[in-house]
Amino acid sequence: MQSCSRRLMTDLSQKIGFTTNRRYFCDKAKTTLKGNANILLKQIEARILAAGPITVADYMKEVLTNPTAGYYMNRDVFGQTGDFITSPEISQMFGELIAVWLVNEWMKCGRPTPFQIAELGPGRGTLMADILRVFSKFKIAGSDFSVNLVEVSPYLGQVQEKQLCLTQAQEATEVPQGSQHYKQSISLYGSQVRWYNHISDLPRTFTLFLAHEFFDALPIHKLVKVDQGWREVLIDLNREDLTLRYVISRDRTPACLYRLDNESREELEVSPQSLIITQTMAARIHQDGGIGLVIDYGHEGDKTDTFRGFKNHKLHDPLVDPGTADLTADVDFAALKWAATHPRAFEDWKANLTYGTVEQKDFLTRVGINLRLEQLLASCRDENVARDLKSAHKMLTDPMEMGSKFKFLALYPSVMEKILERYPPPGFV
């Protein structure tokens, strides 16, 4: 049965076509720092002076998403000239294979329409652009589905709009009153595209959820075991030179109420916001039907200290120059799986089925990246493009590059158990 799915994936991927549409590793976008990092530091200093040390989660939230000076809020941070590069930006092959996977699984669910593709944290919109192109090759009508993006950054919202839509989105005033979304437009293929602040604002319908390098940007609390029990690592101001430094909370903090009973680690990171978002996704998948695909770097609940900064593709001290570097922590996939299978007491949903995590190299190889590379190379007349394609393939799949570090997790409604026993999700087995 598994090979049936594989065969279907191969048939589907044949349909995508044989053209390359990207100039690999050639990134013309300019990275300009509009936000004033000093302003952000001043705000953080003032807050600590007024109310005492802040949690790493509060710090991360402020540094990444402060409306005026937050790292993501007013510039393009991706690519060679940015601070980091992501898989969809490396090669069209990545998004195409994800798209084929989504089509395959949507068909397995009986091709429900209308449906939505909901992406959390779409960045430049490159993954979604590749997905929409593939969906159009499969003749899935633009009117059959909507594209709903959960994006906190107005700047990246504009970049996504340019990438995905024919026209500039209507002004905020033209979004119907009382709408949950803050912006809307029409995709190149005729689908409605809408932008939302929160996952819980998304429309209620069958949903293909996608989150690529989204959860690693969500705030984490850092906890440490001391003689008296669990305490939280906080961020304080060094009064002598006005730099930021870590301190350990004197007493327990609310984050110390996290599930720590059977915890053998002496130090760990927890992200309550990630758990809430995963529970919301799982609830929707149960109640409205859908599938979730989460892709990120992360671990199975065994890592301790992964909070770090990235600037110009290099590690950067997270406490230095806040707002000028990306802040991130490895995703705890064991915690996400726990959230997807543990409804809160008052909620009306059943545990989702979870598949994975599997490593990126295994997922991409199983769904046909080698075949896709061959197809693209066969139609490629430019030596440089061919070289870039091979190098992109290596970067995505080599265990020493992104192949092992990145993991895939899938969520399905419990009603699909029997179908999935016969036809397991491609890429996961």
* Residue with smaller CB distance to ligand SAH, 54 or 217: 217
- 148 contacts ligand SAH (rule: CB under 6 A): no
Closest CA to 323 of 85, 99, 77: 77
> Of the listed pieces 118-126, 246-254, 342-350, 401-409, which binds ligand SAH according to CB under 6 A?
118-126
- 192 contacts ligand SAH (rule: CB under 6 A): no
Relative to beta strand 145-150, strand 192-196 is: parallel
Question: Distance of CA 186 to CAs 95, 146, 202, 207, 208, Å?
Answer: 20, 9, 17, 18, 19
- 340 contacts ligand SAH (rule: CB under 6 A): no
**What end-to-end distance do the CA atoms of the chain give, in Å?**
11
Candidate list 123, 289, 356, 403; residue touching ligand SAH; CB under 6 A:
123
CB of 263 to ligand SAH, least distance (A): 26
17: left (phi over 0), alpha (psi -120 to 50) or beta: left
Closest CA to 102 of 202, 8, 165, 3: 8
- 156 contacts ligand SAH (rule: CB under 6 A): yes
- Crossing angle of the two packed helices 369-378 and 92-108, in degrees rounded to 10: 130
CB of 241 to ligand SAH, least distance (A): 31
CB of 98 to ligand SAH, least distance (A): 11
- 35 contacts ligand SAH (rule: CB under 6 A): no
- 70 contacts ligand SAH (rule: CB under 6 A): no
Relative to beta strand 229-238, strand 267-270 is: unpaired
* Residue with smaller CB distance to ligand SAH, 97 or 353: 97
Strand-pair partners of 270: 221
* Residue with smaller CB distance to ligand SAH, 35 or 121: 121
Which residues within the stretch 296-325 sit at the binding site for ligand SAH (CB under 6 A)? none
> Of the listed pieces 91-99, 208-216, 238-246, 308-316, which binds ligand SAH according to CB under 6 A?
208-216
- 151 contacts ligand SAH (rule: CB under 6 A): yes
Local structure of residue 114 (DSSP, 8 states): S
> Of the listed pieces 29-37, 121-129, 302-310, 340-348, which binds ligand SAH according to CB under 6 A?
121-129
- 150 contacts ligand SAH (rule: CB under 6 A): yes
The whole-angstrom separation of Cα 161 and Cα 157 is 6
Local structure of residue 101 (DSSP, 8 states): H
Is residue 379 within 8 Å of 347, Cβ to Cβ?
Answer: no
Is residue 129 within 8 Å of 99, Cβ to Cβ?
Answer: no
Helices vs strands, H then E, count in the chain: 13, 17
- 86 contacts ligand SAH (rule: CB under 6 A): yes
Binding mask 49-68 for ligand SAH (x = CB under 6 A): ---------------xx---
- 217 contacts ligand SAH (rule: CB under 6 A): yes
The structure tokens listed for 166 are: 């024919």
> Of the listed pieces 9-17, 40-48, 144-152, 185-193, which binds ligand SAH according to CB under 6 A?
144-152
Question: Distance of CA 289 to CAs 112, 133, 210, 357, 426, Å?
Answer: 9, 24, 14, 21, 19
- 82 contacts ligand SAH (rule: CB under 6 A): no
The structure tokens listed for 320 are: 């230095």
> Of the listed pieces 94-102, 177-185, 212-220, 342-350, which binds ligand SAH according to CB under 6 A?
212-220
* Secondary structure element (H or E) that encloses residue 269, with its range: strand 267-270
- 285 contacts ligand SAH (rule: CB under 6 A): no
Candidate list 153, 187, 357, 397; residue touching ligand SAH; CB under 6 A:
153
Q: What residues make contact with ligand SAH under the rule CB under 6 A?
A: 64-65, 72, 78, 86, 88-89, 121-123, 150-153, 156, 212-214, 217
